[in-house]
Structure formats: C-alpha cells, structure tokens
Structure 1
Amino acid sequence: MARRLEALEQDLRREENRYEAVGFSGASTRVTQSIEDMITVLKTEIVELKNDIDEHIDRHPKLKKNRQLLQSIKGVGEVISRIMVSLLACKHFKNAKQLACYLGLIPKLNESGKRTGKTTLSKEGPGYIRAKLYMAAVVAVQHNPDIKAQNKRLVGQGKTKMQAIGAAMRKLTHICFGVVKNQTEYQSQAT
C-alpha cells in the first residue's frame, strides 16, 4: 500500500504539472476538464489509501506502538512514520547502518580527474523514501536538538549544507531504527 501511495502521489504531481502547462498552452476545455477530473480522482484515492494504511497500522498493536515511538522523534511526522513502520516491518535490518545503506544514505567517494576527495550519498535503494527523508531532515535540522547540533558542527567543519543535510538524513534514520529496536521514545542526547 505504501508503494501504491507513492505511485499515486507521483501521478498527482504529473497531472498538476500538466494542468499548470495547460494554462500556458491554451489547450481545449475538454483537455482541461479531463486533467481536472484526474486530479480529483487521484486526490480522493490518495486520501482513501492513507486512511487504509493508517487503519492497518492501528489494527496491529506492534505497528501502532512503533508508529507512536517514531512520532516521538522531532522531525518525524505522519509521512516518515508511515514509511518507516512499513519498511521496518517488511525488511529485517540487523542494525541502523544496514538501514542507512539500504536507503542509499552512506557516503560514497566521488572522484574524477581534478576533482578529488568529494563525497556524496550513494543514492542506492528507494529514491522516493530518500526524497521524503530529505524533507524530514530539513525540519529536523531546525527542531531536533541532536540533528541541529550535528548540522552546526558539520557546517562549522566546512561541509556544504547539502552534505550536512545528507548526514542529517542518515542520523534521522539511525534514530528511527533505535527507537523501534529499543521500544523506547526518543530522548535527545544533545546537552
């Protein structure tokens, strides 16, 4: 259901982009109406699917507890908690490093010619989850004391803002894994 939800959200973005383009191209009213109808159908289906996912989580005490634990992390809301509950229930990771590796959040040396010593995220694994984690990391940098402190330290050491956000995504993933594994609410380690 989580993958279907992501597919529907992508379809909705495509249709919204088409609708915006129709305004510039002067397409027929039939085309405009067709796009509007598709947008309405997609929005309705997205809401219903989100409700189905949430009901499924609520029917299973372990999943419900994991979602509550995940939402105790500042920066993790409905979207990330829904994804992480699904991911951690379906895949059995031994440690947080495996989860980060699966999501493509590990640093990879990117050298070519005169460009040496540059690292980027490996970006292997599901990109749609990384995209959601990116937004969560941006919020966490502002509101989560642990991630805020890490971000300040990395930027102070000369890392770019994007490298610091990548590290925040990885740290957020590690925190998510930790609260679910230990079955305890998030408690900031920053002093």
Structure 2
Amino acid sequence: MLPELSLQQLKIVFSEREKTVAAIKTFERTRENEIFLSKEVFGSVKSINKQTVNHLKKQLALLDQKIKKLIREDENLFEQQQLLKSIPGIGEVTSVYLLMATKGFTTFANARKFACYSGVAPFEHTSGTSIKGKTRVSHLADKKMKTLLHMVSLTAIKYDPELKEYYTRKKAEGKHTMLDLNNIKCKVVYRIFAVIQRKSNFVNLHKFAA
C-alpha cells in the first residue's frame, strides 16, 4: 500500500495545485473586462493582474515539479503512472489523481468497484418490487474523478480508433450522447485496471485488426 506519509504529501501538494489553477482562472477572467472598459480604467489593474498571473503560473510549475518528485521517489507509483499514461487520453493530472484515489491501486478490488466509486457505472432503478426503470449512474461519486474521466473520454473519441469507431457507431444508431460517453468512461476504467494488473503498457489491438 502507498505509504501514508507519501499519500498525505501527494494529496496536500495536489490540493495546492488545484487552488492555484483556480486562482489563475479567476485572475485571467479580469482580462475579459478589457474590451468593455476604457484603456484608462482597465490600465489601472492590467499590469498588476499580469504580474499576479505570471507569479501564479510559476508557483504552478513548482507544484508540478514537486508532484513529479514525490511520485519518482516511489518506484511502484512511478511504474503505475507510466502504465496509466500509456492509455490514450490519460495525462499527467489524471494519472496523479488516479494514484491518489486508489492509494496506488490497493483500495479497489476491480474495475467495476472503481467505476461505481467514480459514478460511471450504471445502476438499475426499480419502482415498487418488480417494475424496472431506466439505468442511472450513482450520485454518490468522486466528482473530480468523474470529471477527469469525462475529459479522458472526449480525448479518446478523437484520437483512439477503437473508441472513436464505437462512439460513431452508437451515434448513428441514435443512442444518447451522454450514455455513449458514459460507456466510454467505463471502457477507460477497465483499461486502467487491465494495464495495472498486467503490469504492461496499453496496446490498441484495434489497429492490427484486418
């Protein structure tokens, strides 16, 4: 299991990163006012705003370096991160959050349980004792993880041939877009657990199909 100290360090640094990213977005929104204000009015904050954003971006770079250092110091974590990043759509931030959410893949027995935790596994709803309703995903989910998986799925349908073909086919069948995306999120989760369990990089066999 990921050492508790390492986990706490990774979590607090990642938390600072999240706050820094949010602050950058907040200060960058000030620039949106430039087209509505006179040069004299906007000029009173333009320079200070630019300095603040530049400072925050430097701090963000330092936090990213710290996160990389913490992961490199743990051989198992570093290996797992490389495996995760071999999956199309999964980058630095998502791989780090996956390591934290799973505690180095020690807290979830299988992909299905993690899909439930992430709010991407559908559940059947029933009315009374026998009437089945539509399947829905659980609202008791890690919303950050769900958001990251959503971003991964959007990237995957652009650059991953297998998932792109699946999404295009389902759209042609008239399936609901969000249902299709949720199914892709589930496929991504199963890929995640497959590479970790096999300890080998993801290989898209779809491109070798005749």
TM-score by length of 1: 0.81
- Distance in 1 between the 2:73 and 2:118 partners? 27
1:114 corresponds to: none
- Distance in 1 between the 2:49 and 2:141 partners? 32
1:69 and 2:78 matched? no
1:46 and 2:54 matched? no
Alignment of 1:22-37 (within 5 A): 22-26=34-38, 27-37=41-51
1:159 corresponds to: 175
| Aligned residue-pair number | 187
Q: CA, structure 1 residues 144+179, in 2 after alignment: closer, same or farther (shift >3 Å)? A: same
2:166 corresponds to: 150
Q: CA, structure 1 residues 156+19, in 2 after alignment: closer, same or farther (shift >3 Å)? A: same
Three-state SS of the structure 1 residue aligned to 2:201 is coil
- Which of 26, 30, 38 is the aligned partner of 1:18? 30
- Distance in 2 between the 1:125 and 1:9 partners? 23
1:168 corresponds to: 184
CA-to-aligned-CA distance 1:116-138 (integer Å, 9 cap, x gap): x6655445433333333222211
Q: CA, structure 1 residues 130+8, in 2 after alignment: closer, same or farther (shift >3 Å)? A: farther
Three-state SS of the structure 2 residue aligned to 1:185 is coil
2:10 corresponds to: none
CA-to-aligned-CA distance 1:18-60 (integer Å, 9 cap, x gap): 2223542454534333332321222111111111111111111
- Distance in 2 between the 1:23 and 1:34 partners? 18
User: What is the RMSD computed on CA atoms of the aligned residues?
Assistant: 2.8
2:116 corresponds to: 101
Q: CA, structure 1 residues 118+18, in 2 after alignment: closer, same or farther (shift >3 Å)? A: farther
- Distance in 2 between the 1:169 and 1:124 partners? 17
- Distance in 2 between the 1:61 and 1:86 partners? 15
- Distance in 2 between the 1:28 and 1:38 partners? 15
1:4 and 2:16 matched? yes
1:130 and 2:142 matched? no
Structure 1: state its 5+ residue gaps: 111-116
Cα deviation, residue 189, structure 1 = 5.1
For structure 1, which segment, 52-61 or 135-144, has the greater mean C-alpha deviation from structure 2 after superposition? 135-144
Q: CA, structure 1 residues 20+155, in 2 after alignment: closer, same or farther (shift >3 Å)? A: same
